[in-house]
Amino acid sequence: MTQITAQMVKELREMTGVGPLDCKKALEASDGDMQKAADFLREKGLATAAKKAGRAANEGIIEIYQHHNGRLGVMVEVNCETDFVAATQGFKTFARNVALHIANLAPEYVRREDVPQAVIQAERELQLRRALEEGKPQNIAEKMVEGRMDKFFEEIVLMEQPFIMDDKKSIEDLRKEVVAELKENVVVRRFARFELGEVGDDVGDDE
């Protein structure tokens, strides 16, 4: 198995415009072959999604989901570029699936960048302390922390959570598939999740 380096990931990012995590996965799946990795990303529509990511998405819908017993509800704002796409079944289904996912998986933030630095730092220190208590040397413990932090983000960040209806893909993977299908930028802007009797503010917002 070819060792995937940061330079390889950087080169693939420059070729495709896709994020580092997706580039790394593509390189791993292609055993380090740059062209195969680029083809892999294009086939999945990730390159298309990345190119559209900077385009303004001011249309869309606010999807509301409520469990049948009325004890839990979700509101999520999903944006696209045009009111035409906002009215399509594919877009509405995506928004509905995201709301259903939020109801069941209870994420705390939309994306990794939304997590406060204080929360990240506290978790990083906790994981480092645990690794050291397990008897790992400092340098090994620090490497272990990075992997554990990815798992931490996967648990609390909506876009990184495995989709409840298909855990082989994340919500971000699902979004990119919709972008490739609809040929427009699609953004999960913010959400609110309410559970009867729950104390606290379960709101995710990318702004």
Q: Are residues 73 and 174 in the same domain?
A: yes
How many domains is the chain partitioned into structurally?
A: 3
Domain shared by 12 and 24, yes or no: yes
Domain annotation covers residue 52: no
Confidence of residue 64 (pLDDT cuts 50, 70, 90): very high
Task: For residues 68 and 143, state if they share a domain.
Answer: no
CATH number assigned to the domain comprising residue 136: 1.10.286.20
Classify residue 120: in a domain, yes or no.
yes
By percentage, how much of the chain surpasses pLDDT 90? 52
Which band of pLDDT confidence, cut at 50, 70 and 90, is reported for residue 48?
low
Query: Are 64 and 108 in the same domain?
Result: yes
Which residue would you say has higher pLDDT here, 52 or 205? 52
* Domain containing residue 64: 59-112+157-205
Whether residues 107 and 69 share a domain: the answer is yes
Q: What confidence tens digit (pLDDT) does each residue in 11-24 have? A: 888 877 677 888 88
Average pLDDT over every residue of 182-197:
92
Q: Are residues 28 and 88 in the same domain?
A: no
Domain for residue 161, yes or no? Answer: yes
- Same domain assignment for residues 146 and 173: no
Which CATH number covers residue 24?
Answer: 1.10.8.10
Please give the average per-residue pLDDT across 111-139, as a whole number.
91
The arithmetic mean of pLDDT across residues 181-186, rounded, is 89
> Are 108 and 161 in a shared domain?
yes
Lowest mean pLDDT, pick from 33-37, 48-52, 169-173: 48-52
pLDDT at residue 41 in the model: 81
The answer to whether residue 99 sits within a structural domain is yes
Mean pLDDT of 145-157: 91
Residues 106 and 184 in one domain: yes
Poorest-confidence range of 31-40, 42-51, 133-142, 179-188? Answer: 42-51
Give the per-residue pLDDT at 66: 92
- Regarding whether 122 and 101 lie in a shared domain, the answer is no
The per-residue pLDDT for 207 is 44
Q: Are residues 175 and 105 in the same domain?
A: yes
pLDDT (0 to 100) of residue 54:
66
Q: Is residue 89 part of a domain?
A: yes
Domain-located, residue 34:
yes
Examine the domain organization and report whether 104 and 63 are in the same domain.
yes
Mean pLDDT of the residues in the chain: 87
For residue 148, give the nearest of 172, 179, 124, 129 by alpha carbon.
Answer: 124
Checking if the pLDDT of 204 tops 50, the result is: yes
**The domain spanning residue 175 has which CATH number?**
3.30.479.20
